[in-house]
Structure 1
Amino acid sequence: EEPSPPTSGVATIAGDGQYSGELRDGKPFGRGSATWPNQGHTYVGEWRNGVMHGQGTATYLNGDRYDGEWSLGKRSGLGRYAHGSGDVFEGMWSNERKHGLGVDTFADGRGYRGEFLDNKFAGVGTYYTVDGALYEGDWHQGKAHGTGISTSTQGGAPAFVHYSHGNLTGSEAFDEAAHGAQRGAVERQSKAALAVALLARRIASFIQGVGIE
């Protein structure tokens, strides 16, 4: 059976949500916008079978904004999330969570580029501070965990360090022959994260530029 052709209209969705845009069989399907007055939440973008699916922009009562990809009503794929506080994440999402490669840039100048799991730093990544200090290495559940290379300030001598759940447990002089391969692996992952973040930023810019009404 052929699906019915899309029409334009309005619908009530997900509680107090008010939708205006393209419909198929009475459900949001195609391009449209919705507001949730009680939550102060809006979404403008693509829909499928009554839920956000494709590319779109969500804004929230607290000043947060997400421009990016959606799947079955949830942030999934590539996108840019800007917090009202000034913190920004650009990268991969899964089921509403930061998941995969990406870059966190904090309003105070700190940042992280690398892997994320369930919204937290995980796997391999590089963390930097405002004054140029770096930690390039292993992470687990948002904390340095494993081994890595630490540089106290820009141009400072690096050290090979050991962490356990965010606590420094050992440190020795960095040796290129012994530790260079790990640093190289982290740097490659950081570059990959930056590339993913740039793609997420481009998608966000495209969505903002299109301006789906």
Structure 2
Amino acid sequence: MVGVELKGAFRGETRRSLRSGFGVYQYSNPYFRYEGTWHEGKKHGFGKLIFADGSYYQGEFTHNEIIGQGTRYFAATRNTYTGHFYYGEMDGHGRLRMGNDDCYEGDFKSNHFEGEGSYLSHNKQLYTGNWHNHRRHGYGEQSYVDGSRYSGDWVADKRHGFGKLIDIQEGFVIYAGSWKNDLMYGEGTYSIGETYAYRNGMIVNNYPVGWPFQLCVNENQTSTIELTEEPTVITVDIINTLENASRVEADCGRLIRLRCGQKTDQPTSDSLPTPFGYHVNLIPRTIRSSPSEEQPEIASNDQTDISERKHFQDSMLTAADTGRAQFVGINIDTFTIKLASSTAAPVSPASTQTTSSKNTRRKAEKPTMPSFVFIIDDITDPVPFNKSLDTVYLPVNFSVTHLAQ
């Protein structure tokens, strides 16, 4: 075999006037320099091709071509590839460590990620799965810095198809269902912790179809609640305002709170404002000897926050299921209702000098009934889809006969 005669300076071993064995060759173009083994005038075996900018290839050569195992360093990007080469290109299995400390290990084809491989970013996000043309494509698993992990289908570097997004730290499925262009799109189940879940509902672009939702008192109940000594049930629905106010049965596990307040014309710093121009003073729940089913137990250790204790003392809590929440067993004794003396009709000093003074005194002696309202709101934390449901203000009447006793 006749070797190819190269133009440049060569120092090394020869055989039959051909470069053979170890030798150093300086190309006529000073940018390139080779040092390594030769066979019949060709680079063959193990050698190092050095570039003037500091880049280099070191590894196997086959008949003058970069074919086989080797290491390629790119000075401009500080990337280093170690693996298999074919005609000078990264081709086969190898590891590419990039200048920004990202690292890919897996299959290559013509300098692209192709086949199976793992990509670990400098901030410890890891993808393991299939690749096509340098992109995540096919089935793969991707972990994220927020502690979540996606397992499922990919198309052109985006989550597309069926997949699950899991909270690794808490150990629950955030979302399981269809994806499109990296967004939750189609039928699926979205969860927050062990409480909230949007089950088997349609989601488009990460949000439920028919957004937004609202809270409303069940349509079978009147607009004003009449409370007596007989227990009653207050039913609250989560409705879809864009579809004829239909109940959203996919919405489950929201924490719904019910509080009672007395309307006041003299608000204090503790009074709650309402969108109707008046304020309310919250009324605490009646303290019972045994905890009720609706009231969650509070830890008795000294580290329990005082505001948290107060929160449970003035509230009734219940979890919604299939778009509906129910407060069961509410009667006139559920909240500590007292008639404030200031609500009595004032007596005018001049009234004692009129002929109707007796009637006026009788009216003053009979206390007037103050106005009460139930405040029903959504306190799910964290907030599903970054939106809390609107607060419902429900007027309530208590038995005047019972209160007078």
The TM-score, its normalising length taken from structure 2, stands at 0.40
Give a deviation string over 1:101-124, Cα, whole Å, max 9, x none: 110000111110000111110010
Answer with 1 or 2: which has the greater Rg: 2
Bigger strand fraction: 1
Matched pairs, number: 173
Distance 1:171 1:108 in 2: 32
Does 2:105 match 1:97?
no
Superposed, 1:187-198 pairs within 5 Å as none
Equivalent residues of 2:126, 2:143 under 8 A apart: yes
The answer to whether the aligner puts 1:53 opposite 2:67 as a matched pair is yes
Q: Which is bigger in relative contact order (C-alpha 8 A, separation at least 6)?
A: 1
**Which segment drifts farther, 15-24 or 153-162?**
153-162
Deviates more, 1:104-113 or 1:50-59: 50-59
The separation in 2 between residues aligned to 1:137 and 1:76, in whole angstroms, is 27
The answer (yes or no) to whether the contact 1:11–1:28 under 8 Å persists in 2 is no
Provide the aligned C-alpha RMSD in A: 2.4
Please identify which structure carries the higher helix content.
1
Instruction: Measure, in 2, the Cα distance between the counterparts of 1:14 and 1:124.
Output: 49
Q: Which residue of 2 aligns with 1:155?
A: 170
Unaligned runs of 5+ in 1: 175-213
Q: Is 1:24 aligned with 2:39?
A: yes
Tell whether 2:123 aligns with 1:108. Answer: yes
Is the contact between residue 128 and residue 141 of structure 2 (CA under 8 Å) also seen in structure 1?
A: yes
What does the per-residue CA deviation read over 1:27-52, in whole Å, with 9 as the maximum and x for residues that have no partner? 211100011114x3111110112221
User: Could you report, residue by residue, the CA deviation over 1:3-62 in whole angstroms, capped at 9, with x for unpaired residues?
Assistant: 989422233569632111111232211100011114x31111101122211111111112
Query: What does residue 192 of structure 1 align with?
Result: none
**Distance in structure 1 (CA, Å) of the matches to 2:28 and 2:151:** 43
**What is the alpha-carbon distance in structure 2 between the residues aligned to residue 43 and residue 24 of structure 1?**
19
2:93 paired residue number: 78
Q: Where has structure 1 moved over 6 Å in runs of 4 or more?
A: 1-5
Q: Percent identity?
A: 27
Match of 1:8? 22
- The equivalent residue for 2:369 is none
State the alpha-carbon separation in 1 of the partners of residues 156 and 126 from structure 2. 16
Contact 1:53–1:71 under 8 Å retained in 2: yes
Counterpart in the other structure of 2:182? 166
Q: Distance in 1 between matches of 2:39 and 2:48?
A: 15
Q: Residues 36, 164 of structure 1: CA spacing in aligned structure 2 closer, same or farther, 3 A cutoff?
A: same
SS at match of 1:52: coil
Aligned match of 2:135:
120
| Alignment partners' CA distance in 2, 1:165 and 1:121 | 13
Aligned partners of 1:131 and 1:153 also within 8 Å: no
Instruction: State the alpha-carbon separation in 2 of the partners of residues 152 and 14 from structure 1.
Output: 60
Deviations 1:79-114 (A, max 9, x none): 111111110001111111111111000011111000
Unmatched 5+ stretches in structure 2: 4-14, 191-405
